[in-house]
Amino acid sequence: MASDTSATLWKNLRVVPAGWTAGIPELQDMRVQEGRIRWMGSAGTAPTGPAGEDTRDAHGAVVTPGLIDCHTHLVFGGHRAAEFAQRLAGASYEEISRAGGGIVSSVRATRAQSEDELFIQAVRRLDALRAEGVTAVEIKSGYGLNLEAERKMLRVARRLGVARPITVRTTFLGAHALPPEYAGRPDDYIDQVCQVMLPALHDEGLVDAVDVFCERIGFTLAQSERVFQAAVDCGLPVKMHAEQLSLMGGAALAARYKALSADHLEYLDEAGVVALRDAGTVAVLLPGAYYFLRETQLPPVDLLRRHGVPIALATDSNPGTSPNTSLLMVLNMACTLFRMTVGEALDAVTVHAAKALGCPQVTGRLQVGDRADFVIWDVDDPAELAYWIGLPRCREVVWQGAASGAVTGPRHS
Ligand code: DI6
Ligand code: FE
């Protein structure tokens, strides 16, 4: 969808600012032209606009920046409901993974499907996110684990951003798991990731950032660093799945490489928190995975807060640990499970998520000059966004100034 080139004056919006803590925002008007916010101020005080300007009245609805889901694995084949049942019967995620299930079972399914088949499944998940106000999303590869299949995933991710009014940023996660054909030879696989896959996919314009799963069941610190070095050689920013199941020191490594974000972080210690702060790296917390794995180790929210590390939240939407396409549900989980405040949770899916996304066009704020990505909500109090579970609350989603119309539920292609 092209951005709207005509001007629109949006009237009577209760715009929730970054850093909001409580209360009902004042009524404001906002002029949008060519996809950007040109003017904002108290309701009824806008200077005269260009001839032919459109007017839209939000009648005092709560408005937030478009939500940003800065960590997803939205493209994959099949599902893992059978593994969910195994875990309910007592098997752990790590046991299933070591027995050849887990990520590798999604790799088999993803390799077996065509680009079109993967697209059809992923677009449903993307539409579910959009129906709850998501206007920018990060999508990782990592269920292909060879050049062709990783390329296929990233091409699907790029196609999603063309097919729908949403900003898509792609992340190459070739180092997500060891593919079966490299069993016992992880360093050879990392060679392949660094010397063949990443440079080729980067040349094809398919990669915006590079991620690594640094974990006992993933890759070591030394292997992770080699991937980061290859990313630096391509001029790409990095991020890391760090300290999810154990404390490996990944967050400190990510900080040394000025990572956009370090993600999961349940086992992060204070030294890691300080390293993130000093590097300006965003801590991305993923309560959907915490919940779905019935994890009991809480991420160090209070330490992150005390050291002033920006906290983002994301769905981690994936078939193994977070089959979740509701960012609003993640807000609720962050408040109930992680004891975040509603204000912290809202910043975590807007302004802080924007920083983790690393796309200069996406600020997660609504100020003059920003891109007009915003959501009009059917709520009276911003706190309702984290409070209701399952009630549709999204009245309208605007991306680059253009309304996508009323979004009432997932729409199919
Ligand atoms: N951590 C996760 O939570 C996902 N990937 C990762 O590195 C899980 C991926 C999966 O189980 O399919
Ligand atoms: Fe993940």
According to DSSP, the β-strands at 167-175 and 238-242 are: unpaired
Best residue among 71, 72, 73, 248 to mutate for probing ligand 1, ranked by most atoms within 8 Å of CB: 73
- 217/189 Cα distance (integer angstroms): 15
> Residues 327-353: what's their mean pLDDT?
98
- State the pLDDT at residue 98: 84
Q: Is 110 in the pocket of ligand 1 (CB under 6 A)?
A: no
Distant-in-sequence, close-in-space partners of 372: CB < 8 Å, separation ≥ 6: 30, 32, 35, 36, 37, 366, 398, 400, 401
Q: What SS3 state is found at 89?
A: coil
**Whether residue 253 has pLDDT greater than 80:** yes
> Residues 89-116: what's their mean pLDDT?
93
- State the pLDDT at residue 408: 43
- State the pLDDT at residue 97: 87
- Count other C-beta atoms under 10 Å from residue 114's C-beta: 11
Q: Is 106 in the pocket of ligand 1 (CB under 6 A)?
A: yes
> Residues 260-280: what's their mean pLDDT?
98
- State the pLDDT at residue 6: 84
pTM of this structure: 0.96
Which atom of ligand 1 lies nearest, measured to the CA of 320?
Answer: 11
Burial 53-63 (b: 16+ CB within 10 A, else e): eeebebeebbb
**Whether residue 18 has pLDDT greater than 50:** yes
Which atom of ligand 1 lies nearest, measured to the CA of 286?
Answer: 3
406 with 396: CB under 8 angstroms?
yes
Best residue among 138, 212, 248, 318 to mutate for probing ligand 1, ranked by most atoms within 8 Å of CB: 318
Q: What is the pLDDT of residues 287-317, one digit of tens each?
A: 999 999 999 999 999 999 999 999 999 999 9
Stretch (H or E) spanning 159 = helix 147-163
- State the pLDDT at residue 56: 96
- 149/138 Cα distance (integer angstroms): 18
- 334/348 Cα distance (integer angstroms): 10
**Whether residue 409 has pLDDT greater than 70:** no
Q: Could you tell me which of 170, 83, 88, 64 has the C-alpha nearest to residue 122?
A: 170
- State the pLDDT at residue 3: 43
Q: What is the pLDDT of residues 186-245, one digit of tens each?
A: 999 999 999 999 999 999 999 999 999 999 989 999 999 999 999 999 999 999 999 999
Q: What is the pLDDT of residues 347-378, one digit of tens each?
A: 999 999 999 999 999 999 999 999 999 999 99
Which atom of ligand 1 lies nearest, measured to the CA of 93?
Answer: 11
- State the pLDDT at residue 413: 33
- 20/353 Cα distance (integer angstroms): 16
356 with 261: CB under 8 angstroms?
yes
Q: What is the pLDDT of residues 139-168, one digit of tens each?
A: 999 999 999 999 999 999 999 999 999 999
In DSSP notation, 379-401 reads -SSTTHHHH-SS---EEEEEETT
- Count other C-beta atoms under 10 Å from residue 225's C-beta: 19
Q: What SS3 state is found at 42?
A: strand
Chain mean pLDDT for the chain: 95
- State the pLDDT at residue 363: 98
**Whether residue 174 has pLDDT greater than 50:** yes
**Whether residue 411 has pLDDT greater than 70:** no
Stretch (H or E) spanning 299 = none
- State the pLDDT at residue 405: 55
Best residue among 76, 138, 176 to mutate for probing ligand 1, ranked by most atoms within 8 Å of CB: 176
In DSSP notation, 118-146 reads HHHHHHHHHHHHHTTTEEEEEEE--S--S
At residue 406 the predicted structure's pLDDT band, cuts being 50, 70 and 90, is very low
- State the pLDDT at residue 302: 98
- State the pLDDT at residue 89: 95
**Whether residue 1 has pLDDT greater than 60:** no
> Residues 327-339: what's their mean pLDDT?
98
Which atom of ligand 1 lies nearest, measured to the CA of 80?
Answer: 12
- State the pLDDT at residue 311: 98
Q: Categorise residue 146: left if φ over 0, alpha if ψ from -120 to 50, beta otherwise.
A: beta
**Whether residue 404 has pLDDT greater than 90:** no
